[in-house]
Amino acid sequence: MRKMFDDPSMDIGFDLDVLITQFRWLEEGKMDEKLVKSAIKAARKRINVNLKTYPELKRELPDLLMESYSIIKESLTDKSSPKECKWTLDNLLDKDYYPLRRTLTLVK
Protein backbone atom coordinates (compact mmCIF):
# COMPACT_ATOMS: atom_id res chain seq x y z
CA MET A 1 0.00 0.00 0.00
CA ARG A 2 1.32 3.40 -0.98
CA LYS A 3 1.84 5.85 1.88
CA MET A 4 1.27 9.59 1.51
CA PHE A 5 3.08 10.60 4.71
CA ASP A 6 5.75 9.23 7.02
CA ASP A 7 3.28 9.38 9.92
CA PRO A 8 0.46 6.81 9.60
CA SER A 9 -1.90 9.04 11.60
CA MET A 10 -1.49 11.68 8.89
CA ASP A 11 -2.40 9.05 6.28
CA ILE A 12 -5.54 8.23 8.23
CA GLY A 13 -6.32 11.94 8.66
CA PHE A 14 -5.95 12.45 4.91
CA ASP A 15 -8.28 9.54 4.20
CA LEU A 16 -10.84 10.90 6.66
CA ASP A 17 -10.67 14.19 4.70
CA VAL A 18 -11.35 12.20 1.55
CA LEU A 19 -14.28 10.36 3.12
CA ILE A 20 -15.95 13.50 4.47
CA THR A 21 -15.55 15.29 1.13
CA GLN A 22 -16.80 12.32 -0.87
CA PHE A 23 -19.76 11.85 1.48
CA ARG A 24 -20.71 15.49 0.92
CA TRP A 25 -20.41 15.14 -2.85
CA LEU A 26 -22.45 11.94 -2.83
CA GLU A 27 -25.14 13.53 -0.69
CA GLU A 28 -25.22 16.67 -2.85
CA GLY A 29 -25.14 14.75 -6.13
CA LYS A 30 -22.14 16.79 -7.32
CA MET A 31 -20.13 13.97 -8.80
CA ASP A 32 -20.65 10.67 -10.57
CA GLU A 33 -21.93 8.22 -7.95
CA LYS A 34 -19.74 5.33 -9.13
CA LEU A 35 -16.57 7.43 -8.97
CA VAL A 36 -17.42 8.78 -5.54
CA LYS A 37 -18.22 5.34 -4.16
CA SER A 38 -14.98 4.02 -5.61
CA ALA A 39 -13.01 6.77 -3.83
CA ILE A 40 -14.88 6.02 -0.59
CA LYS A 41 -14.08 2.30 -0.83
CA ALA A 42 -10.39 3.02 -1.48
CA ALA A 43 -10.12 5.45 1.46
CA ARG A 44 -11.84 2.98 3.77
CA LYS A 45 -9.47 0.23 2.65
CA ARG A 46 -6.39 2.39 3.29
CA ILE A 47 -7.67 3.33 6.76
CA ASN A 48 -8.36 -0.32 7.62
CA VAL A 49 -4.89 -1.38 6.47
CA ASN A 50 -3.31 1.37 8.58
CA LEU A 51 -5.39 0.40 11.61
CA LYS A 52 -4.39 -3.26 11.23
CA THR A 53 -0.73 -2.26 10.98
CA TYR A 54 -0.96 0.36 13.76
CA PRO A 55 -3.85 -0.72 16.04
CA GLU A 56 -2.84 1.89 18.62
CA LEU A 57 -4.14 4.56 16.23
CA LYS A 58 -7.74 3.46 16.84
CA ARG A 59 -7.84 5.59 19.98
CA GLU A 60 -6.77 8.64 17.93
CA LEU A 61 -9.64 8.32 15.42
CA PRO A 62 -12.07 10.69 17.22
CA ASP A 63 -9.43 13.44 17.35
CA LEU A 64 -8.39 12.82 13.75
CA LEU A 65 -12.03 13.09 12.66
CA MET A 66 -12.52 16.38 14.52
CA GLU A 67 -9.31 17.76 13.00
CA SER A 68 -10.23 16.63 9.48
CA TYR A 69 -13.70 18.10 9.73
CA SER A 70 -12.44 21.44 11.04
CA ILE A 71 -9.95 21.70 8.15
CA ILE A 72 -12.65 20.94 5.60
CA LYS A 73 -15.13 23.30 7.25
CA GLU A 74 -12.62 26.18 7.10
CA SER A 75 -12.24 25.69 3.35
CA LEU A 76 -15.97 25.75 2.60
CA THR A 77 -17.53 28.83 1.12
CA ASP A 78 -20.86 27.87 2.73
CA LYS A 79 -20.28 28.72 6.38
CA SER A 80 -23.60 27.22 7.48
CA SER A 81 -22.11 23.74 7.93
CA PRO A 82 -22.74 22.10 11.31
CA LYS A 83 -20.18 22.69 14.05
CA GLU A 84 -19.45 18.96 14.22
CA CYS A 85 -19.27 16.36 11.47
CA LYS A 86 -22.70 14.86 10.90
CA TRP A 87 -21.22 11.46 10.09
CA THR A 88 -19.87 9.28 12.85
CA LEU A 89 -16.71 7.23 12.61
CA ASP A 90 -18.98 4.20 12.34
CA ASN A 91 -20.69 5.77 9.30
CA LEU A 92 -17.42 6.72 7.66
CA LEU A 93 -15.80 3.32 8.15
CA ASP A 94 -18.83 1.05 7.60
CA LYS A 95 -18.28 -0.64 4.24
CA ASP A 96 -22.02 -0.77 3.60
CA TYR A 97 -22.92 2.81 4.58
CA TYR A 98 -23.33 5.59 2.03
CA PRO A 99 -25.19 8.85 2.63
CA LEU A 100 -28.37 9.34 0.68
CA ARG A 101 -28.56 12.01 -1.95
CA ARG A 102 -30.54 14.98 -0.73
CA THR A 103 -33.65 15.77 -2.69
CA LEU A 104 -34.97 19.27 -3.15
CA THR A 105 -38.48 19.99 -2.05
CA LEU A 106 -40.17 22.81 -3.88
CA VAL A 107 -42.46 24.93 -1.78
CA LYS A 108 -45.49 26.36 -3.55
> pLDDT tens for residues 4-58?
557 888 899 999 999 999 998 888 888 889 999 999 999 999 999 999 999 999 9
Domain count, the chain: 1
Q: Is residue 32 part of a domain?
A: yes
Q: Is residue 68 part of a domain?
A: yes
Task: Name the pTM for this structure.
Answer: 0.83
* Alpha-carbon gap, residue 38 to 11, rounded angstroms: 18
Indicate if the pLDDT at residue 84 is higher than 90: no
Q: Is residue 3 part of a domain?
A: no
At residue 82, the pLDDT reads 79
Contact 7, 52 (CB under 8 A): no
Give the Å distances, CA to CA, from 13 to 16, 18, 77, 102. 5, 9, 22, 26
Q: Is residue 107 part of a domain?
A: no
Q: Is residue 41 part of a domain?
A: yes
Q: Is residue 108 part of a domain?
A: no
At residue 3, the pLDDT reads 57
Q: Is residue 101 part of a domain?
A: no
Percent of residues in the chain assigned helix, strand, coil, to nearest 5: 65, 0, 35
